[in-house]
Amino acid sequence: MKPIYLDYNATTPIDPAVARAMLPYIHEHFGNPSSRHAYGVTAWNAVQKARGQIAEMLHCAPEEIVFTSGGTESNNHAIKGIAFANRARGNHIITSVVEHPAVLEVCDYLESHGFRVTRLPVDRHGLVDPRRAEEAITPETILVTIMHANNEVGTIEPIAGIAAIARRHGVPMHTDAAQSIGKIPVRVDELGVDLLSVAGHKLYAPKGVGALYIRSGLTLEKFVHGAGHELNRRAGTENVIHIVGLGEACAMVHRNIERYGEHLRKMRERLEDGLRARFGGLRINGHPSLRLPNTSSAGFRGLKADLVLSRLENVAASAGAACHSDGVVVSAVLNAMDVPSEYAMGTIRFSVGRATTAEEIDRAVEHIAAAVEASTS
């Protein structure tokens, strides 16, 4: 029997409906979208349909969507694009200490090229205080980039409030929404952001495709140079097969987000209730209510997460701490939240998905309990 998959924040399977939408573009409609003959027009129309599907989900204009190779490229394009396009105006960027490496590493890179970066702290729930963001803004600030929801603990950041502050100061706002899309409603008009990153493989589309929302009128330096694809914003022949899949996945989210979110919350609560019944000292990291409906960062006191996972052969999950020869390294997110070390070392992230069943959750609780008990003996 296959292990029970509870690592949907790491990646999701391609939804069968998404796969069906992609098939004609694998076998039949193979044209280059830039070609003017019938084969190219068919491919071009498919790309434009997908662009419209993503725009409908995000509540923006289709021409504000640029296709990328994934969330990492979208983050790189947004942050570097704004930084280098505005270098004559300022060199200061604001982010947070709990961002994904696809943001933090970009900021580190820009620091090595003369930019100044302020990394905002978070509270014990993983929340950025919007007041800290406003206090950090200077006349040299050219970008604020804060993730929409944290990939490890699921905390949902107050993006609309931070974006409103940035807008008052004339500073563009970017958010990495890789983890939130498909779990909670994500609309750029409600968030008030200028740039937003999408990762296909987090929302039941293929790996290797993503999108970047760029508000109309915003100027970015090109990230990939070449021909004038994507309205001259991102060179390279469009990955039609994967773009079609991303479009279909976003259309499904647009139609079904309330149902998806309700199911995810039920499965997560069933998991946490089951674990709490077994372990009275269990700690759930993250905000108690402002949290992704599918994410459970569970801290088992006094244990090492890698040891538990090594004995958890029947459940796929992720550790919040890694064991090395010189000791246990706790994740930067848990450290930033000041999670006590006796819980941080034993933190495991469980993330449920659209296909997760109550029966799987109940079996997973039994397997987790057995692995934890074996790790304490």
Name the residues annotated as catalytic: 323
Helix axes 71-85, 101-111, angle to 10 degrees: 30
Alpha-carbon gap, residue 235 to 130, rounded angstroms = 36
Distance set, CA 127 to CA 147, 188, 191 (Å): 11, 20, 16
β-sheet bridge partners, residue 213:
65, 196
Sign of CA dihedral 355, 357, 361, 367: negative
Q: Letter for the amino acid at 244? A: V
Contact 45, 265 (CB under 8 A): no
User: What token pair was written down for 185?
Assistant: 């409603």
Interhelix angle for 240-278 vs 38-58, to 10°?
30
Report the alpha-carbon distance of residue 67 to residue 212 in Å, rounded.
6
Alpha helices in the chain (DSSP H): 16-27, 38-58, 71-85, 101-111, 130-136, 159-168, 188-191, 229-232, 240-278, 305-310, 332-336, 341-344, 358-376
- 3-state SS, residue 83: helix
| 157 neighbors 128 (Cβ within 8 angstroms) | yes
Position of tokens 């974006």?
A: 163
In angstroms, what CA-CA distances link 223 with 69, 86, 220, 259, 265?
Answer: 12, 14, 8, 37, 38
Provide φ and ψ at 258, rounded to 5°: -65, -45
